[in-house]
Chains A and B, each alone.
Chain A
């Protein structure tokens, strides 16, 4: 019974990680790459760790596995947000075919604060 569960979960996990890697190579833009890796890789790693927990089937190891999964789910969005924010500041370009940039002109350049109004210091013709 647990063997079948391990087969299914490990296949799904490896597939999700492979999809994350392929998307990471194929996506045209840093921000799209961050989006792909955060979602797919987190789910894939969670499934592989769940495999390990099912295989050993002991209380202490299950607790350890759950702690790792919880930690990864907690920290992956935070890290992705931080690196995305930093790379928006240092001017990593968006994809040339992306339609809209909601943050354009809304960050104050010097203080790095987000303001809801347009920053008048920057030239942004389109609101």
Chain B
């Protein structure tokens, strides 16, 4: 079992299982903030999947997309919290 098989048969299923667990909370989460945090965590796990996938396909250009995804995750969380707070303030 070399590195590729290990990543393919052990690491990627583990990450997939965690994505499914987080997605369960994303669908069920009682408040809107739960869903925002779940979205942030989904994108963060997506960065991990992209990192593993870059090893599997031997293409390093996937890391650029991982960096963009990290930017978007932070931007989304900041925008969501800003507008949540603003909506509460205006009422």
Interface core residue of B6, B14, B87 (most chain A CB under 10 Å):
B14
Chain A to chain B: the 3 pairs with minimum beta-carbon distance, closest first: A21-B18, A87-B33, A86-B81
- Taking a contact as CB atoms under 8 Å apart, the answer to whether B18 and A52 are in contact is no
Nearest neighbor of A22 in chain B, beta-carbon distance: B21
- Taking a contact as CB atoms under 8 Å apart, the answer to whether B70 and A24 are in contact is no
Please indicate the chain A residues that have their CB under 8 angstroms from the CB of B88 in the complex.
86, 89-91
A33 in contact (CB, < 8 A)? yes
Q: How far is the CA of A85 from the CA of B77 in the complex (A)?
A: 12
Q: Besides the contacts A7-B6, A20-B41, A51-B55, what 15 more A-B pairs have beta carbons closer than 8 Å? A: A10-B11, A14-B10, A24-B22, A24-B41, A44-B48, A52-B63, A55-B3, A64-B60, A65-B63, A75-B70, A75-B74, A79-B77, A86-B85, A90-B32, A90-B88
**Interface of B with A (CB < 8 Å)?**
2-3, 6-7, 10-11, 14-15, 17-19, 21-22, 24-25, 31-34, 36-38, 40-41, 44-45, 47-48, 51-52, 54-55, 60, 63-64, 66-67, 70-71, 73-74, 77-78, 80-82, 84-85, 87-89
**Interface of A with B (CB < 8 Å)?**
3, 6-7, 10-11, 13-15, 17-18, 20-22, 24-25, 30, 33-34, 37, 41-42, 44-45, 48-49, 51-52, 55-56, 58, 61, 64-65, 67-68, 71-72, 75-76, 78-79, 82-83, 85-87, 89-92, 110, 112
